[in-house]
Chain A
Amino acid sequence: MLKYEFDWSVVTSGQYYDWIVSGLYLTIQLSAVSIVLAFLLGLLIAVMRMSSVKPVKWIAHGYLEFFRNTPLLVQIFFWYFGSYKILPQSVNDWLNSTNFEFAAAVIALTIYTSAFIAEDIRSGVLSIPKEQMEASRSGGFSYLRSMQYIILPQAVRITIPPLIGQFLNLTKNSSLAMTIGVAELTYQARQVEAYTFKGFEAFTAATLVYVALSIIITALVTLYSKKVLHRTG
């Protein structure tokens, strides 16, 4: 085996430390923006999926199946390299005027994750007894209003643990944004390796950050499930 000299100072101070921290910052930013958008889009798709209007239901169903059964990486490449031909010129202009790499990554992550979130929300809604919908309908609420005031507030609460699981997946999946040049955590770890040949230290730093994020969030979910969900039965 090759002799390897450890030098942890590479990732604990100085310029390369700053790279890793800026990568972490971008990872958090990317995940936070995408999870909010993915939640809203997922909610919309879930409501469409449960609609009684057939075409709306089919569109939502097709959306879910297609985006869940396609690799995220391919979706990222599609939005980054290939979307200009199918988007209107005004949207292209706007995208080019912003940070396009970041925007493409957000679009891909949002759409991919929203498909999974929609299914989580749907199973949350299905766990609410049907009588509640019937009662609110006969109480004079429209379908959308019953969803908004009666069903979704309860369903979303049940859905929070799986949603946070999706958030964790999203954070990990955001590492794929490095392939189109978004300088997030994995990208920076690889940069540090390329510049210093200290791959072991650089990857350890990035790995520990990911694992720490995931352990902290998982612990919070467990706590939430025990305290909140258990209490309401």
Chain B
Amino acid sequence: MESGLDFTIVKDNLLYFMIGAYPEGKLGGIALTIYLAVAACFFSFWGGLILGLMNVARNKAIRYASGAFVNFVRGMPLLMVIFWCYFLVPGLFGQPVGETKTVIIALSLFTSAYMSQIVKAGIESIPKGQTEAARSSGLKLWQVMVFVILPQGLRNMIPSFVNQFVSLIKDTSLAFIVGVSELTHVATQINNRSFVYPTEIFIFIAVIYFILCYIFTEFSRWLERRLAWRKSI
């Protein structure tokens, strides 16, 4: 066997790695990975915000119900959540739902549970005196939340949100399992076709994922330093 790695396979398929069969076929590859991560991040931000607010609600029933939901989802592997969605979502909508949408729903559900913990911590990091002060100057409870607590709490949590986004980028690789042609799926396709370059192909996509994730990890660290600096003055 010849030793040494030969990356021609990557060079020849570079465009396919980047955008899949697009524009003749569906969007795929790195572009789809980013699309999945951004879409799921958007939905799970709102999902996490709602769940996080429910988690700190005064009403006990709401608090326990949302807490139970969050702990339940966090106890499950993401793969299981994807299978559940794949299995249940078409029934709920009464019609077939595309794989891509199903995966976005699964990723959003899963990540919302984690985002809610970030939101909760953000809200709890704001001193109680602020709520009392805002209340005594005549604001309603929801106004206190929307105008006083959340703007500060969420700002402190931005680095954690970015970290969650990094996890999301990594998690999109699981879409492979239901046949969504994101980067990992494209890689296995090319691997099945060429058969003799698995090492090169998987090293290449690992590096791509690394670059994507590392940029955001560093961004989150930079934000954290900036926030720390801001607090210190």
- Whether, in the assembled complex, A220 has its beta carbon less than 8 Å from a beta carbon of chain B, the answer is no
When distances are taken between beta carbons in the complex, the residues of chain B under 8 Å from A200 are 87
In the assembly, what is the distance between CA of A200 and CA of B191, in Å? 33
Q: Contact: B91 with A2, CB < 8 Å?
A: yes
CB atoms of A69 and B205 under 8 A apart: no
> Which residues of chain A in 195-225 are interfacial with respect to chain B, using CB atoms and an 8 Å cutoff?
199-200, 203, 206-207, 210-211, 213-215
Number of B residues contacting the other chain (C-beta, 8 Å)? 43
- Which of A1, A71, A206 has the most C-beta atoms of chain B within 10 angstroms of its own C-beta? A71
Measured CB to CB, the closest approach of chain B to A148, in angstroms, equals 31
Contacts of B78 in A (CB 8 A): 172
Interface residues of A (CB under 8 A from B): 1-2, 65-66, 68-75, 77-78, 81-86, 172-173, 175-176, 178-179, 186, 189-190, 193, 199-200, 203, 206-207, 210-211, 213-215
Q: Could you write out 11 A-B pairs with CB less than 8 Å apart? A: A65-B217, A70-B210, A72-B170, A73-B184, A77-B198, A77-B202, A85-B198, A189-B83, A206-B80, A207-B76, A210-B77
The answer to whether A69 and B166 touch across the interface, beta carbons within 8 angstroms, is yes
Give Cα distance in the complex from A74 to B173, angstroms. 8
Across the interface, A82 reaches (CB within 8 A) one of B76, B199, B214, namely B199
Q: Is the CB of B80 within 8 A of A78?
A: no
Cα of A179 to Cα of B188 in the assembled complex, Å: 12
Answer yes or no: B99 CB below 8 A from chain A CBs.
no
| Min CB–CB distance B10 → chain A (angstroms) | 13
A-B pairs with lowest CB-CB distance, top 4: A214-B75, A82-B199, A69-B213, A81-B198
Contact present for A215 and B191 (CB under 8 Å): no
Chain B residues with CB under 8 Å of A83's CB are 199
Residues of the B chain whose Cβ atoms lie less than 8 Å from the Cβ of A214: 74-75
A78→B203 contact, CB < 8 A: yes
Distance (Å) between the CB of A57 and the closest chain B CB?
18
Most buried by B among A68, A69, A178, A214: A69
Docked complex Cα distance between A1 and B89 (Å):
11
Give Cα A203 to B174, complex, Å.
17
B35 within 8 A of A: no
Residue pair B80, A175 in contact (C-beta under 8 Å):
yes
Q: Chain B contacts of A175 at CB under 8 A?
A: 77, 79-80
Contact of B77 with A77 in the complex, beta carbons under 8 Å? no
In Å, the complex CA distance between A137 and B191 comes to: 53
Residue among A74, A77, A84, A86 facing the most chain B CB atoms (10 A cut-off): A74
Please determine whether A172 and B76 come into contact, CB atoms closer than 8 angstroms.
Answer: yes
Assembly CA distance A5 to B22 (angstroms): 42
Instruction: Please judge, given known A-B contacts A214-B75, A215-B71, whether A77 and B203 are in contact too, CB under 8 Å.
Output: no
B72 part of interface (Cβ distance < 8 Å): yes
CB-CB nearest in chain A for B217: A69
By a CB distance below 8 angstroms, the chain A residues around B170 are 69-72
Chain A residues closer than 8 Å to B191, beta-carbon distance: 81
Q: Chain B residues near A211: list those with CB within 8 A.
A: 72, 75-76
- What is the CB-to-nearest-CB distance from B219 to chain A, in angstroms, rounded to a whole number? 12
